[in-house]
Structure 1
């Protein structure tokens, strides 16, 4: 079977096993599961990423965690680089990581680099971590891709005096025009903050299982897509969904978690998958309820800044018609609180509290 996106390549890493992280180890329960879900989405030729299986590498800690080293990741990267060269270049390179992570203080003592902890990480082996910034950098400067997309489901808490390892892959000179390569990173949490996992019911699970909140929201958006022609979900629309959904999942589990992105805005010309193509229903399809904290008046705007509805929160709730894939803004003028969200097809017939 031919692949829908033969020019796309990916490395997917999931690490649950951290036997030396703390006195008794600090294992995760959902990182490998989330990596596998994303990997399967990448290979889905109907509505997923549409990658050729030969262009996609899944690396997990299941068999022998101590055998998963930087060399494991770098050999996979080098192999995919060779495949892309032999194919005359590629379109997009995905890098997905789920596991423990840290923010590493830079040499100037004022900046921080993101790192990915390897299974060997411990207090006595604090450098057993990958410098997350070095991987998109080597792909951008050395490899024939037009887009780089990173999904990073890990903590960003600070670690002092740790030197995460740069990728050992590299080239003698950067490719011509490498500055024009579009790079975007979706982080599970803000700098200096933790990312969490918890019991979440997903469409793929027969029962409630542990997943990362970021990975859960990511897969929800990718699997549902939007109403755009041809399906799929744009990079900006995906971000808006993550910005809305990740804090909600965390809050439901008694946690605080807010995702972050770099750069500050993405282009919806970068599209993920082919799910969706839903047609907006004519009837009202969503209920907005108001919490006791609302002061009002409350206003609802669409993506073109057109006011759709305004009123006092004493109305208790609004029934409105929203279009799948579109971005909306709620403003409480009394408190100044705002919420931006993307309305996806699976939200039809449901409600949310503002």
Structure 2
């Protein structure tokens, strides 16, 4: 039997997991096309918790479970909630068990990259569009034909258009990110995992990453184009404890949150499929990376069991209802978590 010619768009966690599991099952003609020039072209985001029933199972399918456990921070499961005005601890969930330990996204990505056959990732060669049947156009103007094109290229997927006309829409919620290194005051407040404070439609969320690094997020309803200065952001959080307002210092990274329509489905299209955010973009409430990796592993295993022609629709028949269910929870969950303020910004 001829080995299928498979293209994966995007060298994120989903795309790399899919490539790894395919290669473990003897699929040698797999290429991950990534428009970024190298694995360190940009920072890979903060920490993610891999869930026992999804992300961890994907790591196990990739044959990397022990390596992942050696990097995982089980203490990162700690959850803390503090009072916005006093910074006093009001709720505490200590780290227990191994349901959702944390790992830096960059560490997990490097683990997956190191597991692939040399040359699997084509850096600096992004896919600009795909068509039914497996035809692709690359950003450099060249074209190619594949037995299967897998869109693992995130929220603004270039492959999605081959199966769906859906586009992401703004949720009305903005995250404004800051980063802090080796700040003992902020580390003490954050604890080993995640800290939360909220008051009247404003939320502050901080997460400890490896190496005593913290990523913090001011979370609120705002216009999509809103880009506050540090002074404007601090003014919004006036009345909050000074130690909490210290999380808002430093360079600001503005992150408006988008989702795909719910449910996002499509008729099976031979030669093309999607996984992760390309298939079911939803708010970052702890399930996105897990679902992307679960999608990736299940797609690869379905192809290994049934071939491309029958494996892809088998995968979609399971993935699409699961994604719709999770979208139905996370989309309204975000708006409940970050309610309207008396004065919208």
TM-score w.r.t. structure 2 length?
0.30
More relative contact order in 1 or in 2 (CA 8 Å, sep 6+)? 2
Q: Which has the higher helix share?
A: 2
